[in-house]
Structure 1
Amino acid sequence: MNPSIIDVTINERVFGIRAADIDTQRNSASMLISKMYAWRGYSGNHQIGNDPNRITLTASDHGQVFGTLSLGLDSEIGLMADQVFADYVDTQRNSGKVCEIIKLAVDPAIKSKAVLASLFHVALIYARDLNGCTHIFIEVNPRHRRFYEAMLGFQTVCEARPNPRVQAPAVLLSAATAYGTEQVAKWGGMQDKAVGERSLFPWFFSQREEAGIINRLRQLG
């Protein structure tokens, strides 16, 4: 197994955030995605391939993957969001470098804010610090929009349209990486000490931990 980018301890359980860069790890992530998407009634093929423009992250414990997301980088073939929202994605491309969060799945048995926050924070680092992205898109079911707005600071940029990949409607949300930087500076690493703050940002890493992750990823790269 490849080394973890960072280990996180929650209730005496340690899980590692890793880049899934071999087939067995991508297959484990694909199985979790297929399980979670089928449970929600979404159709389509959710297999994760070896794509140089995608970074798949996993949260795992002793080889068991219980959380995953992929960061899709913009390229000559575009983003997955272009299939449904190309007009809105193109507008953002004109003012910066864009990317997208795709294939997000977390086992509901893992009731930890830190798992989702850790995955999103490492994705933010890959987007902002290693690839110079200014905005991150995500397509979500309209029922889940409020969660991403309230917990991660995404904003709706286009209302619901049919998404043929999952045979369900989707809205397009966007967040500036600069906003993530501001929130990490304000709340990162505070966890339960952030009284009154309801977002996931207190469960992101502290600025000191973030700097260590950036250095580690640059060394690995």
Structure 2
Amino acid sequence: MNSVACHEEFRATEMSHKAAHKHTKAGRNHPAIDPGFAVTRNGFHIRVSPSDGPVRRNVDQLIQRMYASRGLSTSQPIAPPSPPPTLQTTLIASQGDRVFGTLTVGVDTGAGLLADTLYRPQIDVARGQGARVCEVTRLAMDPELNSQEALGAIFHLGFIIARFIHGMTDLFAEVHPRHVPYYRRMLGYRVAGPNLICPRVGAPAVLMHLPLSHAEQETLRHGGNKHSRDRSLYQRFFSPVEQGQILRQLNLEAA
């Protein structure tokens, strides 16, 4: 790596740390995300979904279709209650006008997480240790256009929103038991709660937990590094330099 690249990576890393510190200190002050924000990557782009309108309907239809294809009950209210207890940001991956992926980050603003319905005792353990908790919900990827690159990009954007915009420290996710090995191997989650039936989809769920400090370290080590021997999803994340550029787009660079 040449000296210019080293300088850019150091600057991006320093800026990420400043952004995380800035928003951690902010506590419960949750800044707005630019609704026009978008990142383009190799023929697809990821952006923030509007709360209503045709694009949001496409997102809901994608979720219904993908959940039904996995045998999950679409008669259950897949969409979160309105208004949801969390501060939510829904990301979408699209190619042209076609939405093929989505993920929602929910931040606990004091009313709890959706995952508290089944796993409040487990999540309260983290809260009792001073954690600021958030969750990932409503993940769906159309297999016709899905790729590890698209999955890595949308997960990384979700991580940036949770860690650097809202200053969260701990991420939770309710996943189907058959997906537990993937979350462990590819992102470093650990099992945090027992196998229960999730009422939102009428299927078994396991609570998974990821310290965002771990995700931050793995992103800096492996993000965008195609020569890394690491085979986790972090290798498909943006590089530290690209992460710094995304933070600048979101106006998070400290003065």
Q: What are the ranges of 5 or more consecutive residues in structure 2 without an aligned counterpart?
A: 1-34
Corresponding residue for 2:20? Answer: none
Out of 31, 38, 49, the position equivalent to 1:20 is: 49
Residues 1:157 and 2:192 are matched in the alignment: yes
Q: 1:5 matched to which residue of 2?
A: 38
The structure that is strand-richer by fraction is 1
Query: What is the SS of the residue equivalent to 1:162?
Result: strand
Distance 1:33 1:57, change over 3 A: same
Equivalent residue of 1:53, what SS? strand
In 2, Cα distance between the equivalents of 1:121 and 1:69?
11
Which of 110, 113, 132 is the aligned partner of 1:76?
110
CA distance in 2, matches of 1:218, 1:36: 34
2:116 and 2:146 mapped to 1: Cα distance? 33
SS at match of 1:158: coil
Corresponding position: 1:206 with 2:236: no
Secondary structure of 2:114's aligned partner: coil
After TM superposition, give the deviation of residue 144 of structure 1 in Å: 0.7
Secondary structure at the aligned position of 1:218 is classed as coil
Report the alpha carbon displacement of residue 185 of structure 1 after superposing the two structures with TM. 1.0
Deviations 1:136-168 (A, max 9, x none): 100001111000110111111112112121111
Contact 1:5 1:216 in 2 (8 A): no
Q: Does 1:110 find its partner at 2:149?
A: no
Change (3 A) 1:131 1:4: closer
Equivalent-residue separation in structure 1 for 2:211 and 2:110 (angstroms): 22
When Rg is computed on C-alpha atoms for both structures, the one with the higher figure is 2
Q: Does 1:138 align with 2:173?
A: yes
Q: CA RMSD in A?
A: 1.7
Deviation at 1:77, TM superposition (A): 2.4
Letter in 2 for 1:40: R
Q: Is the 8 A contact 2:105 2:134 kept in 1?
A: yes
Task: Tell me, in whole angstroms, the C-alpha distance in 1 between the residues paired with 2:44 and 2:157.
Answer: 14
Residue 187 (1) aligns with residue 217 (2):
no
CA contact (8 A) 1:69 1:104 kept: yes
Secondary structure of residue in 2 paired with 1:159:
coil
Whether contact under 8 Å (2:101, 2:146) holds in the other structure is no
Structure 1 window deviating more from structure 2 (81-90 vs 41-50): it is 41-50
What TM-score, normalized to structure 1? 0.90
- How many pairs were matched up? 212
Instruction: For residue 28 of structure 1, report the CA deviation from its aligned partner.
Output: 1.2
Q: Could you list the runs of 4 or more consecutive aligned residues of structure 1 that deviate by over 3 angstroms after TM superposition?
A: 47-52
The answer on 1:56 being equivalent to 2:90 is yes
Does the CA-based 8 Å contact 1:130-1:218 persist in structure 2? no
Residues 110-160 of structure 1, C-alpha deviation per residue, up to 9 Å, x if partnerless?
241011111110011000111010011000011110001101111111121
Does residue 31 of structure 1 match 2:61?
yes
**Aligned residue number for residue 47 of structure 1:** 79
Q: Which runs of 5+ in 1 are unaligned?
A: none
Residue 207 of structure 2 corresponds to residue 172 of structure 1: yes
Tell me: higher relative CO, structure 1 or 2? Use CA pairs within 8 A at least 6 residues apart. 2
Alignment map for 1:112-127 (pairs within 5 Å)? 112-127=147-162
Give me the identity figure in percent: 35
Decide which moves more: 127-136 or 164-173.
164-173
Report if the CA contact (8 A) 2:78-2:200 is conserved.
Answer: no
